[in-house]
Amino acid sequence: MQNIDRYKVLQTLSIKDAIKKMDAGGIGVIICVDGNDNVVGIVTDGDFRRAVLGEVSLKNRISDIMNKDFFAVQSGYTKSDALKVFENPVSGHIPVLKGKKLVDILVREKFLSSEGVDIWDKSAIKQLQAPVVIMAGGKGTRMDPFTRILPKGLIPIGEKAMVEIIMDGFAKYGINDFYLMVNHKAAIFRLYFEDAAKSYTISFIEEDRPMGTAGALKYLEGKIQMPFFLINCDTVIDTNYSDIMDFHNEGKYKVTLVACMQHHVIPYGVCEIEQGGCLRSITEKPEYDILINTGMYVVDPDIIRFIPANSKFDMTDLISVLKKNRQRIGVYPVSEKSWNDIGQWDEYKKTIEKLRQMF
Protein backbone atom coordinates (compact mmCIF):
# COMPACT_ATOMS: atom_id res chain seq x y z
CA MET A 1 0.00 0.00 0.00
CA GLN A 2 1.53 3.29 -1.09
CA ASN A 3 1.85 6.34 1.19
CA ILE A 4 1.04 4.46 4.39
CA ASP A 5 1.21 7.72 6.37
CA ARG A 6 -2.19 8.76 4.99
CA TYR A 7 -3.76 6.03 7.12
CA LYS A 8 -2.06 7.02 10.39
CA VAL A 9 -2.98 9.61 13.03
CA LEU A 10 -1.52 10.56 16.36
CA GLN A 11 -3.59 9.20 19.21
CA THR A 12 -3.87 12.75 20.58
CA LEU A 13 -5.74 14.01 17.49
CA SER A 14 -9.41 14.89 17.94
CA ILE A 15 -12.04 12.35 16.86
CA LYS A 16 -13.41 14.89 14.38
CA ASP A 17 -10.06 15.42 12.63
CA ALA A 18 -9.14 11.74 12.73
CA ILE A 19 -12.42 10.76 11.08
CA LYS A 20 -11.82 13.35 8.35
CA LYS A 21 -8.49 11.66 7.65
CA MET A 22 -10.15 8.24 7.67
CA ASP A 23 -12.66 9.50 5.10
CA ALA A 24 -9.83 10.86 2.96
CA GLY A 25 -8.05 7.51 3.13
CA GLY A 26 -11.11 5.81 1.72
CA ILE A 27 -10.71 2.33 3.25
CA GLY A 28 -12.84 2.74 6.38
CA VAL A 29 -10.08 2.50 8.98
CA ILE A 30 -7.45 4.71 10.59
CA ILE A 31 -4.39 3.53 12.52
CA CYS A 32 -3.50 5.34 15.73
CA VAL A 33 0.16 5.81 16.68
CA ASP A 34 2.00 7.31 19.63
CA GLY A 35 4.74 9.95 19.58
CA ASN A 36 7.29 7.29 18.61
CA ASP A 37 5.21 6.20 15.61
CA ASN A 38 4.33 2.91 17.31
CA VAL A 39 0.87 1.51 16.54
CA VAL A 40 -1.34 1.66 19.63
CA GLY A 41 -4.84 1.09 18.23
CA ILE A 42 -7.18 1.20 15.26
CA VAL A 43 -10.48 2.98 14.62
CA THR A 44 -13.09 1.86 12.08
CA ASP A 45 -16.23 3.56 10.85
CA GLY A 46 -18.10 1.29 13.26
CA ASP A 47 -16.16 2.72 16.20
CA PHE A 48 -17.06 6.19 14.97
CA ARG A 49 -20.75 5.28 14.78
CA ARG A 50 -20.74 3.88 18.32
CA ALA A 51 -19.07 7.07 19.55
CA VAL A 52 -21.78 9.21 17.95
CA LEU A 53 -24.55 7.03 19.39
CA GLY A 54 -22.86 7.18 22.77
CA GLU A 55 -22.83 10.99 22.55
CA VAL A 56 -19.05 11.14 22.81
CA SER A 57 -17.83 14.65 21.96
CA LEU A 58 -16.01 14.76 18.64
CA LYS A 59 -13.57 17.14 20.30
CA ASN A 60 -12.28 14.25 22.43
CA ARG A 61 -9.06 12.48 21.51
CA ILE A 62 -9.26 9.61 19.05
CA SER A 63 -7.58 7.47 21.71
CA ASP A 64 -10.85 7.61 23.66
CA ILE A 65 -12.59 5.40 21.09
CA MET A 66 -9.72 3.43 19.49
CA ASN A 67 -9.62 -0.34 19.73
CA LYS A 68 -6.45 -1.36 21.55
CA ASP A 69 -7.20 -5.08 21.21
CA PHE A 70 -6.83 -5.51 17.44
CA PHE A 71 -5.63 -8.22 15.09
CA ALA A 72 -2.34 -7.61 13.28
CA VAL A 73 0.28 -9.59 11.40
CA GLN A 74 4.00 -9.05 11.24
CA SER A 75 5.83 -8.36 7.98
CA GLY A 76 6.76 -11.69 6.46
CA TYR A 77 3.29 -13.06 7.23
CA THR A 78 1.94 -15.99 5.22
CA LYS A 79 -1.29 -16.01 3.26
CA SER A 80 -2.72 -18.52 5.71
CA ASP A 81 -1.98 -16.10 8.57
CA ALA A 82 -4.11 -13.42 6.92
CA LEU A 83 -6.86 -15.79 5.81
CA LYS A 84 -7.19 -17.05 9.38
CA VAL A 85 -7.85 -13.51 10.60
CA PHE A 86 -10.27 -12.79 7.76
CA GLU A 87 -12.30 -15.90 8.69
CA ASN A 88 -13.84 -13.61 11.28
CA PRO A 89 -16.36 -11.55 9.24
CA VAL A 90 -15.89 -8.63 11.65
CA SER A 91 -12.27 -8.26 10.53
CA GLY A 92 -12.22 -5.86 7.62
CA HIS A 93 -8.61 -4.68 7.89
CA ILE A 94 -5.35 -6.12 9.17
CA PRO A 95 -2.42 -3.82 10.03
CA VAL A 96 0.90 -5.23 8.89
CA LEU A 97 3.63 -4.33 11.41
CA LYS A 98 7.38 -4.45 11.48
CA GLY A 99 7.94 -4.55 15.19
CA LYS A 100 5.45 -1.87 16.28
CA LYS A 101 5.65 0.24 13.10
CA LEU A 102 2.93 0.21 10.44
CA VAL A 103 4.21 -0.91 7.03
CA ASP A 104 1.01 -1.96 5.27
CA ILE A 105 -2.73 -2.56 5.71
CA LEU A 106 -4.51 -5.60 4.30
CA VAL A 107 -8.03 -4.71 3.14
CA ARG A 108 -10.43 -7.63 3.27
CA GLU A 109 -12.05 -7.25 -0.15
CA LYS A 110 -8.80 -6.64 -2.05
CA PHE A 111 -6.93 -9.43 -0.28
CA LEU A 112 -9.63 -12.05 -0.74
CA SER A 113 -10.11 -11.04 -4.38
CA SER A 114 -6.37 -11.44 -5.00
CA GLU A 115 -6.63 -14.94 -3.53
CA GLY A 116 -9.50 -15.87 -5.81
CA VAL A 117 -12.13 -15.76 -3.07
CA ASP A 118 -15.59 -14.46 -3.98
CA ILE A 119 -15.78 -11.49 -1.61
CA TRP A 120 -19.55 -11.32 -1.88
CA ASP A 121 -20.35 -14.92 -0.98
CA LYS A 122 -21.91 -15.79 2.36
CA SER A 123 -18.57 -16.50 3.99
CA ALA A 124 -17.36 -12.98 3.21
CA ILE A 125 -20.41 -10.82 3.87
CA LYS A 126 -23.79 -11.34 5.45
CA GLN A 127 -26.48 -11.75 2.82
CA LEU A 128 -29.88 -10.12 3.23
CA GLN A 129 -33.43 -11.04 2.36
CA ALA A 130 -35.06 -7.62 2.22
CA PRO A 131 -36.81 -5.78 -0.57
CA VAL A 132 -35.75 -2.28 -1.57
CA VAL A 133 -38.18 0.52 -2.34
CA ILE A 134 -36.67 3.29 -4.47
CA MET A 135 -38.47 6.65 -4.48
CA ALA A 136 -38.19 7.87 -8.06
CA GLY A 137 -41.39 9.84 -8.56
CA GLY A 138 -40.07 13.35 -8.02
CA LYS A 139 -39.61 15.93 -10.76
CA GLY A 140 -35.94 16.50 -9.95
CA THR A 141 -36.16 20.28 -10.13
CA ARG A 142 -32.66 20.62 -8.63
CA MET A 143 -31.30 18.92 -11.77
CA ASP A 144 -33.10 21.15 -14.25
CA PRO A 145 -32.80 21.28 -17.27
CA PHE A 146 -31.61 17.64 -17.40
CA THR A 147 -34.86 16.42 -15.88
CA ARG A 148 -36.95 18.17 -18.52
CA ILE A 149 -35.95 15.26 -20.75
CA LEU A 150 -35.26 12.32 -18.44
CA PRO A 151 -36.47 11.46 -14.93
CA LYS A 152 -33.95 12.08 -12.14
CA GLY A 153 -33.44 8.38 -11.46
CA LEU A 154 -32.05 7.85 -14.96
CA ILE A 155 -29.14 10.27 -14.50
CA PRO A 156 -26.20 8.50 -16.17
CA ILE A 157 -23.23 7.39 -14.11
CA GLY A 158 -20.82 5.92 -16.64
CA GLU A 159 -22.78 3.34 -18.62
CA LYS A 160 -25.57 2.92 -16.06
CA ALA A 161 -28.45 4.94 -14.71
CA MET A 162 -28.45 6.18 -11.14
CA VAL A 163 -31.13 3.70 -10.06
CA GLU A 164 -29.00 0.85 -11.41
CA ILE A 165 -26.04 2.05 -9.35
CA ILE A 166 -28.30 1.87 -6.29
CA MET A 167 -29.52 -1.60 -7.25
CA ASP A 168 -25.97 -2.84 -7.82
CA GLY A 169 -25.02 -1.68 -4.33
CA PHE A 170 -27.82 -3.73 -2.76
CA ALA A 171 -27.17 -6.72 -5.04
CA LYS A 172 -23.81 -7.22 -3.34
CA TYR A 173 -25.82 -8.23 -0.27
CA GLY A 174 -27.91 -10.76 -2.17
CA ILE A 175 -30.86 -8.41 -2.74
CA ASN A 176 -32.58 -8.43 -6.14
CA ASP A 177 -36.19 -7.53 -5.28
CA PHE A 178 -36.93 -3.86 -6.03
CA TYR A 179 -40.02 -1.67 -6.00
CA LEU A 180 -39.72 1.50 -8.06
CA MET A 181 -42.06 4.33 -7.07
CA VAL A 182 -42.59 6.42 -10.21
CA ASN A 183 -44.69 9.38 -11.32
CA HIS A 184 -42.78 12.00 -13.32
CA LYS A 185 -41.98 10.52 -16.75
CA ALA A 186 -42.96 7.05 -15.51
CA ALA A 187 -43.23 5.64 -19.04
CA ILE A 188 -39.53 6.35 -19.66
CA PHE A 189 -38.62 4.27 -16.59
CA ARG A 190 -40.62 1.33 -17.89
CA LEU A 191 -39.07 1.55 -21.34
CA TYR A 192 -35.57 1.80 -19.93
CA PHE A 193 -35.90 -1.31 -17.76
CA GLU A 194 -37.29 -3.42 -20.60
CA ASP A 195 -33.67 -3.90 -21.68
CA ALA A 196 -31.69 -3.08 -18.54
CA ALA A 197 -31.12 -4.83 -15.20
CA LYS A 198 -32.53 -8.19 -16.31
CA SER A 199 -31.05 -9.87 -13.23
CA TYR A 200 -33.31 -7.86 -10.92
CA THR A 201 -36.98 -8.28 -10.14
CA ILE A 202 -38.52 -4.82 -10.53
CA SER A 203 -42.09 -3.94 -9.62
CA PHE A 204 -43.36 -0.52 -10.65
CA ILE A 205 -45.65 1.38 -8.29
CA GLU A 206 -47.07 4.28 -10.29
CA GLU A 207 -48.54 7.24 -8.44
CA ASP A 208 -51.48 8.86 -10.19
CA ARG A 209 -50.33 12.13 -8.59
CA PRO A 210 -47.36 13.20 -6.41
CA MET A 211 -47.83 11.59 -2.99
CA GLY A 212 -44.74 12.77 -1.13
CA THR A 213 -41.84 10.66 0.10
CA ALA A 214 -44.03 8.24 2.10
CA GLY A 215 -47.55 8.44 0.66
CA ALA A 216 -46.98 5.86 -2.10
CA LEU A 217 -45.91 3.27 0.48
CA LYS A 218 -49.62 2.81 1.12
CA TYR A 219 -49.76 0.89 -2.18
CA LEU A 220 -47.45 -1.72 -0.64
CA GLU A 221 -49.66 -2.47 2.34
CA GLY A 222 -49.96 -6.25 2.63
CA LYS A 223 -47.43 -6.85 -0.18
CA ILE A 224 -44.23 -6.70 1.91
CA GLN A 225 -43.96 -8.90 5.00
CA MET A 226 -40.46 -8.04 6.27
CA PRO A 227 -38.40 -4.92 7.05
CA PHE A 228 -37.37 -3.22 3.83
CA PHE A 229 -34.96 -0.54 2.67
CA LEU A 230 -36.38 2.76 1.44
CA ILE A 231 -34.09 5.11 -0.46
CA ASN A 232 -34.23 8.18 -2.68
CA CYS A 233 -33.25 7.58 -6.30
CA ASP A 234 -30.43 10.15 -6.08
CA THR A 235 -28.80 8.79 -2.92
CA VAL A 236 -25.95 6.31 -2.58
CA ILE A 237 -24.69 5.34 0.87
CA ASP A 238 -21.25 3.73 0.95
CA THR A 239 -21.54 1.62 4.11
CA ASN A 240 -22.41 -1.92 5.22
CA TYR A 241 -26.11 -2.52 4.57
CA SER A 242 -26.11 -5.66 6.71
CA ASP A 243 -24.97 -3.58 9.67
CA ILE A 244 -27.84 -1.15 9.10
CA MET A 245 -30.39 -3.97 9.08
CA ASP A 246 -28.84 -5.55 12.19
CA PHE A 247 -28.98 -2.18 13.95
CA HIS A 248 -32.65 -1.83 13.02
CA ASN A 249 -33.64 -5.32 14.14
CA GLU A 250 -31.59 -5.39 17.33
CA GLY A 251 -32.95 -1.99 18.38
CA LYS A 252 -36.52 -3.12 17.62
CA TYR A 253 -37.08 0.09 15.69
CA LYS A 254 -40.07 0.69 13.44
CA VAL A 255 -38.10 3.06 11.23
CA THR A 256 -34.33 3.59 11.11
CA LEU A 257 -32.96 6.75 9.49
CA VAL A 258 -29.48 6.66 8.01
CA ALA A 259 -27.95 10.00 9.01
CA CYS A 260 -24.69 11.62 7.94
CA MET A 261 -22.50 13.38 10.50
CA GLN A 262 -21.49 16.78 9.14
CA HIS A 263 -19.32 19.50 10.59
CA HIS A 264 -20.30 23.10 9.89
CA VAL A 265 -18.54 26.35 10.71
CA ILE A 266 -20.50 29.61 10.72
CA PRO A 267 -17.99 32.06 9.21
CA TYR A 268 -19.30 35.01 11.25
CA GLY A 269 -19.74 36.13 14.80
CA VAL A 270 -23.07 34.76 16.07
CA CYS A 271 -25.01 36.99 18.45
CA GLU A 272 -27.44 35.99 21.17
CA ILE A 273 -29.73 38.69 22.49
CA GLU A 274 -32.11 39.16 25.42
CA GLN A 275 -34.56 41.74 26.71
CA GLY A 276 -35.55 42.92 23.28
CA GLY A 277 -32.10 43.84 21.98
CA CYS A 278 -29.45 43.56 24.70
CA LEU A 279 -26.46 41.44 23.67
CA ARG A 280 -26.14 38.35 25.83
CA SER A 281 -23.10 36.87 24.08
CA ILE A 282 -21.23 36.75 20.79
CA THR A 283 -19.40 33.68 19.53
CA GLU A 284 -16.86 34.04 16.76
CA LYS A 285 -17.13 31.40 14.01
CA PRO A 286 -18.95 28.76 16.06
CA GLU A 287 -18.65 25.12 14.98
CA TYR A 288 -21.45 22.56 14.98
CA ASP A 289 -21.54 18.79 14.48
CA ILE A 290 -24.95 17.75 13.23
CA LEU A 291 -26.65 14.63 11.85
CA ILE A 292 -28.28 15.08 8.42
CA ASN A 293 -31.04 12.79 7.15
CA THR A 294 -29.65 11.15 3.99
CA GLY A 295 -32.93 9.87 2.55
CA MET A 296 -32.21 6.20 3.26
CA TYR A 297 -34.28 4.21 5.76
CA VAL A 298 -35.15 0.76 7.02
CA VAL A 299 -38.90 0.44 7.49
CA ASP A 300 -41.07 -2.17 9.22
CA PRO A 301 -44.08 -2.93 7.01
CA ASP A 302 -46.59 -2.72 9.87
CA ILE A 303 -46.12 1.06 10.11
CA ILE A 304 -47.75 1.49 6.69
CA ARG A 305 -51.07 1.44 8.54
CA PHE A 306 -50.22 4.92 9.87
CA ILE A 307 -50.08 6.34 6.32
CA PRO A 308 -53.38 7.84 5.11
CA ALA A 309 -54.73 6.57 1.80
CA ASN A 310 -54.78 8.79 -1.29
CA SER A 311 -52.94 11.65 0.44
CA LYS A 312 -49.65 13.45 0.03
CA PHE A 313 -47.56 12.30 2.97
CA ASP A 314 -43.83 12.80 3.54
CA MET A 315 -41.42 10.73 5.64
CA THR A 316 -41.24 13.61 8.11
CA ASP A 317 -45.03 13.37 8.51
CA LEU A 318 -44.80 9.62 9.05
CA ILE A 319 -42.04 9.94 11.62
CA SER A 320 -44.02 12.60 13.48
CA VAL A 321 -47.07 10.30 13.62
CA LEU A 322 -44.94 7.37 14.76
CA LYS A 323 -43.39 9.44 17.54
CA LYS A 324 -46.85 10.50 18.74
CA ASN A 325 -47.81 6.84 18.83
CA ARG A 326 -44.67 5.98 20.83
CA GLN A 327 -43.09 3.89 18.09
CA ARG A 328 -39.29 3.48 18.23
CA ILE A 329 -37.29 5.44 15.64
CA GLY A 330 -33.60 4.65 15.20
CA VAL A 331 -30.76 6.74 13.79
CA TYR A 332 -27.80 5.00 12.15
CA PRO A 333 -24.89 7.48 11.74
CA VAL A 334 -22.43 7.33 8.84
CA SER A 335 -19.43 9.53 8.17
CA GLU A 336 -19.61 12.52 5.84
CA LYS A 337 -18.01 10.89 2.82
CA SER A 338 -20.27 7.83 3.05
CA TRP A 339 -23.17 9.86 1.69
CA ASN A 340 -23.37 10.68 -2.01
CA ASP A 341 -26.29 12.98 -2.88
CA ILE A 342 -26.28 13.66 -6.58
CA GLY A 343 -29.66 15.37 -6.73
CA GLN A 344 -28.07 18.69 -7.67
CA TRP A 345 -25.46 19.57 -10.27
CA ASP A 346 -22.63 20.58 -7.93
CA GLU A 347 -22.82 17.32 -5.98
CA TYR A 348 -23.26 15.31 -9.17
CA LYS A 349 -20.01 16.68 -10.56
CA LYS A 350 -18.18 16.02 -7.27
CA THR A 351 -19.30 12.43 -6.87
CA ILE A 352 -19.57 10.99 -10.37
CA GLU A 353 -15.95 9.76 -10.43
CA LYS A 354 -16.23 8.39 -6.90
CA LEU A 355 -19.36 6.41 -7.79
CA ARG A 356 -17.72 5.02 -10.90
CA GLN A 357 -14.88 3.70 -8.76
CA MET A 358 -17.29 2.26 -6.16
CA PHE A 359 -19.40 0.32 -8.65
The CATH number that applies at residue 331 is 3.90.550.10
| Residues 150 and 198 reside in one and the same domain | yes
Which of the residue ranges 121-125, 185-189, 221-225, 260-264 would you say has the lowest mean pLDDT?
Answer: 121-125
190 shares a domain with 136: yes
State the average pLDDT over residues 120-134: 74
Average pLDDT, the chain: 85
User: Do 148 and 107 share a structural domain?
Assistant: no
* Total structural domains within the chain: 2
What's the pTM value of the predicted model, to 2 decimals? 0.80
CA atoms within 13 A on the CB side of 207: 26
> Is residue 122 in some structural domain?
no
Q: Write the pLDDT tens digit of every residue in 296-347.
A: 999 999 999 999 998 899 999 999 999 999 999 999 999 887 887 665 555 6
217 and 143 in a common domain: yes
Res. 125 pLDDT band, cuts 50 70 90: low
The pLDDT value recorded for residue 355 is 52
Task: Using the predicted structure, report yes or no on whether residue 120 has a pLDDT greater than 70.
Answer: no
> For position 315, what pLDDT does the model report?
95
Q: For residue 325, is it within any domain? A: yes
Query: What is the spatial distance between Cα 17 and Cα 27, in angstroms, rounded to a whole number?
Result: 16
pLDDT at residue number 156? 73
Q: Is residue 119 part of a domain?
A: no
Nearest residue to 347 (alpha-carbon basis) of 276, 292, 299: 292
Distance CA 357, CA 178 (A): 23
Residues 175 and 76 both lie in one domain: no
| pLDDT for residue 6 is more than 80 | yes
Residue 170 in domain: yes
Kindly state whether residue 146 falls inside one of the protein's structural domains.
yes
For residues 348 and 317, membership in a common domain is answered with: yes
Domain that holds residue 140: 132-358
Query: Domain boundary at 69, 88, 114, which?
Result: 114
- Residue that terminates a domain, selected from 114, 146, 168: 114
- Selection from 350, 328, 330, 329 nearest residue 339 by Cα: 350
Mind listing the pLDDT tens digit for each residue in 181-204? 887 667 777 878 876 556 788 998
Same domain membership, residue 180 and residue 37: no
- Are residues 89 and 188 located together in one domain of the fold? no
What pLDDT score does 337 carry? Answer: 78
Query: How sure is the predictor about 119, in pLDDT bands with cuts at 50, 70 and 90?
Result: very low
Residue 117, CB-side half-sphere exposure with 13 Å CA sphere: 17
Query: Is 154 found in the same domain as 80?
Result: no
Same domain as 136, residue 108: no
In percent, how much of the chain has pLDDT > 70? 84
What is the mean predicted confidence (pLDDT) over 210-225?
Answer: 91
Lowest mean pLDDT among 61-70, 101-110, 224-233, 317-326: 101-110
Among 120-124, 219-223, 224-228, 239-243, which is the least confidently predicted range? Answer: 120-124
Residues 220-225 have a mean pLDDT of 93
166 with 142: CB under 8 angstroms?
Answer: no
The Cα 254–Cα 239 span in angstroms is: 21
Q: What is the mean pLDDT of residues 95-100?
A: 94
Is 123 part of a structural domain of the chain? Answer: no
What pLDDT is attached to residue 150? 66
At residue 350 the predicted structure's pLDDT band, cuts being 50, 70 and 90, is low
